[in-house]
Amino acid sequence: MKKTLKILKNNKAGTVGLVIFITFVFIAIFANQIATYDPMEIQYSDKYEVKRLQSPSKEHLLGTTWMGRDVFSQMVIGSRIAVLVGVISAICVAFIGTNIGLIAGYYGGIVDKILMRIVDIMYGLPFLPFALILVAVLGPGIRNIILAIVIITWRNSSRVIRSQTLSLKNRTFVEAAKLTGASNLRILYKSIAPNVLPTSLVYVSTTMASAIMTESSISFLGLGDPMQVSWGRILYACYSSQAMFKAWWWILPPGIAITLLVMSGYMMGRVFEEIANPRLKER
Amino acid sequence: MKRLKYIFQRVFMMFITLFILVTILFFIFRVIPGDPVSMFIDSGMDAEGKAKLMELYGLDKPLGEQYVIYLKNLVKGDLGRSFTYSKPVVEVIGERFVNTLVLTLTAMIIAYSIGITVGSYLAWKRNTKIDVIGTMVAITVRCAPIFWTGMILLGIFSYKLGWLPLGGITSPGQQFSGYFDKFFNLDFLRHLILPAITSALYSSATPTLLMRSSMLEVIKEDYIELAYAKGLSEKRVRNKHAIRTALLPVVTILAIQAGFAIGGSVLVETVFRWPGMGREIVLAVGSRDYPMAQGVFLLIGIMISVFNLLADILYSYLDPRVTLN
């Protein structure tokens, strides 16, 4: 723990990433309190006219959309989807990928061969087109987007975890555990798993970044949940209304937010990378 | 001989992978609830007409039989008929394929030109302000959603400044006598610039960062010291000795990234209404035209596999340490 804090102190990028991430989590948790309007509500002026494409003002911090909706509230509520999709997909992917890597590496033989062949095949899948088709078939919505991301991305971590397990299983402490008569499962999860944990944490943060990117891409293509606001969906509405070139307050915030959150994922990944591999100093 | 065997094995694996992709996709599209005909034909059609159409597309047969027929046709190069275009899928796909390839390759050339130049420059200026800023810009560009970058470029250069067209591949009302005519004219170039630059910017981060770290490794080598000791100028050492060696890992990742970019063309092509495979798959998915979606997906899968294969073969030539099994 002390070591982790020290690494965090020396790793500026990691600290910045962590701060950005925590800020967004905070906004997501208190979204209902922070948002000033219902994000889907159409705003009317005193003369009962729709407030179309109004530039930022005190009333509407980030202006309004073509449909007269408040951009700031949409941004705040949209952060919930981004954080939710990012965190859930990351945990699922790391869990599945780590376990498959551990099992393939530890048991070896035919189990390893079959699992790694499946990974090879998964690498032949065009990521975005496949996710798109899966979501279209299963039905647009956040749950199916997460499912599509998890089905495809577990391949990334399992290969690396497998090769780490391979080198760990011949080390003396594992041999010692075997001699004491510990069961395979016990060795795998008590002795080996803690050692691959930092590496799977690298994948937790990078998967979070790519999941957020994928969610916003699929939502941008119009396959997001039509009942929920997400950053990708804001951009989709902005693009399809063709009014985007007139309203910088509508097009800039979602893109900047996505970029920041995705970047924070990669930055936090650097910290775990350093913990996993202490020789790797920041160049 | 050993290499030949290796290549043969990889090609064999590639075919198995593609076969599995085709199978997965075939069944994914057929588990959709409701029959496909009702999805794309207006509901006013009577039962008889519907049955006829089901027969025309071979949808009246049991699933297993459909699958066997599909595979048989696939071997013959027949991908079925598109629902929306009422034409064989192969006819529609051919042109889309060329459009995507032209866009992707142009983007890759630009991306790698930027990446190699900027990356080696940043390494040369290591730990200076330029290096820090350059690296940060590269990472930011990589993390920005590609469709958003595209929308902003479109807003600036097409809408505000009016320099470039708002999308598409040609201006309306043009006729071409052949591919050469179509791709080698100013109008096409003007349509190509923005999507190519958007895609290139996004793809340029990887070669930039890779080139930078590769250069940093090379600079430490003895023969670079030796080159200096011989009294060669700094510029000459950089251009003649360092860059050449540092290029190796960058070149090997090119093929993999090209495959990845083709998968990612879905977004760029949608923003710029570029009539390629990526946009076609979005349209096909939207209109439930699954012969079309299946065909495009297969073609993208083939291209990614071929690029991965090329990367592996290239790598086995460039790095003799790679074990061939």
**Parent domain of A228:** 18-27+63-276
Is B304 an interface residue toward A (CB < 8 Å)? yes
Predicted confidence at residue B251, as pLDDT, reads 78
Residue B109 confidence (pLDDT): 92
Average pLDDT, integer, range B256-266: 82
Q: What is the pLDDT of residue A89?
A: 93
pLDDT digits (tens, 9 = 90+) for A31-61: 777 767 777 767 767 676 766 767 777 776 6
Q: Which of A70-79, A193-202, B267-276 has the highest mean pLDDT?
A: B267-276
Q: How confident is the model over A116-131, as a mean pLDDT?
A: 85
Report yes or no on A55 lying in a domain.
no
Q: Which residues pair with A64 in a beta bridge?
A: A70
CB contact under 8 A, A220 and B147: yes
Answer yes or no: is pLDDT of A252 > 50.
Answer: yes
Partner A contacted by B176 (CB < 8 A): no
Q: Is residue A37 one of the residues assigned to a domain?
A: no
pLDDT in tens, B8-36: 888 888 888 888 888 888 888 776 655 55
Residue type, A173: F
pLDDT in tens, B56-87: 666 667 777 888 888 888 888 777 778 778 78
Check pLDDT > 70 for residue B320. no
Quick check: is A58 in a domain? no
Find residues 68-97 of chain B whose CB sits inside 8 Å of chain A.
none
pLDDT value of residue B57: 65
Compute how many other C-beta atoms are within 10 angstroms of the C-beta atom of residue A26.
13
pLDDT tens digit string along A261-282? 999 988 888 888 777 776 554 4
Of B252, B238, B264, B240, residue with least CA distance to B207: B252
Predicted confidence at residue A246, as pLDDT, reads 76
pLDDT greater at residue B162 or residue B267: B267
A8 pLDDT exceeds 50?
Answer: yes
Q: Which of A252, A86, A275, A55 is nearest to B155 (CA)?
A: A252
Nearby residues of A174 by Cβ (< 8 Å), 6 or more positions away: A168, A187, A191, A192
Where does the pLDDT of residue A248 fall: very low under 50, low under 70, confident under 90, or very high at 90 and above?
A: confident
Share of chain B above pLDDT 70, in %: 84
Identify whether the C-beta of residue A2 lies closer than 8 Å to the C-beta of residue A258: no
A221 domain-assigned: yes
Query: Which parts of chain B are beta strand (E)?
Result: none
Six token digits for residue B60:
């009246």
Q: Which residues pair with A44 in a beta bridge?
A: A50
What's the CA gap between A167 and A132, in Å, rounded?
38
Q: Give the mean model confidence (pLDDT) for residues A48-77.
A: 72
Asked if B311 contacts B253 with a C-beta cutoff of 8 angstroms, the reply is yes
The answer as to whether A267 is a domain residue is: yes
In a 13 Å sphere around the CA of B159, the CA atoms on its Cβ side amount to 15
- DSSP code for A141: S
pLDDT of residue B30: 74
A192, A174 Cβ separation under 8 angstroms: yes
A260 in any annotated domain: yes
**Is A128 in Cβ contact with B297 (below 8 Å)?**
no
Is the pLDDT at A283 greater than 50, yes or no? no
Which of A123, A254, A262 shows the shortest C-beta gap to B143? A262
Whole-number percent of chain A with pLDDT over 70: 89
In this structure, of A54-68, B6-20, B215-229, the range with the lowest mean pLDDT score is A54-68
Does A221 sit within 8 Å of B155, measured CB to CB? no
As beta bridge partners, residue B53 has: none
Write out chain A residues lying below 8 Å of B126, CB-based: 283
Given a contact cutoff of 8 angstroms between Cβ atoms, the answer to whether B212 and B135 are in contact is yes
**Burial group, residue B62, by CB count within 10 angstroms (0-12, 13-18, 19+):** exposed
Instruction: Give pLDDT tens digits for A84-110.
Output: 999 999 999 999 999 999 999 888 889
The reply to whether residue B13 touches residue A262, judged by beta carbons under 8 angstroms, is no
Highest mean pLDDT of the ranges A274-278, B116-120, B253-257: B116-120
Task: Please check whether residue A228 is in contact with residue A31, taking contact to mean a CB–CB distance below 8 angstroms.
Answer: no
Q: Is A13 part of a structural domain of the chain?
A: no
Give how far Cα B115 sits from Cα of B112, B203, B296, Å.
5, 9, 30
Domain count, chain A: 1
Higher pLDDT, B3 or A230: A230
Q: Given A127, A222, A255, which is nearest B144 (Cβ)? A: A255
Residue-level pLDDT at A217: 92
Q: Do residues B318 and B251 make contact, with C-beta atoms less than 8 angstroms apart? A: yes
B135 CA to chain A: closest CA distance, Å?
11
Give the C-alpha separation, B268 to B194, whole Å: 10
Question: What share of chain B has pLDDT > 90, as a percent?
Answer: 8
Supply the CATH number for residue A269's domain.
1.10.3720.10
The continuous run of DSSP H or E covering B112 comes out as helix B89-124
Chain A contact present for B278, CB below 8 A:
yes
Helices (H), chain A: 2-10, 12-29, 31-34, 71-107, 109-123, 127-138, 142-168, 172-179, 184-186, 193-220, 231-241, 248-276
Question: What local confidence, expressed as pLDDT, does residue A99 receive?
Answer: 92
> For residue B110, is pLDDT > 90?
yes
Mutate to test the interface with B, among A137, A163, A244, A252 (most CBs of B within 10 A): A137
N-to-C CA span, chain A = 24
Q: Is the pLDDT of residue B227 over 80?
A: no
Residues of A in contact with B305 (CB under 8 A): 124
| Nearest residue of A to residue B154, measured between CA atoms | A245
- Minimal-distance CA residue of chain A relative to B308: A124
Domain-located, residue A219: yes
pLDDT at B215 over 90: no
- Percent of chain A at pLDDT > 90 equals 14
pLDDT at A65 over 90: no
- CA terminus-to-terminus distance, chain B: 13
Phi, psi angles (nearest 5°) of residue A41: -75, 135
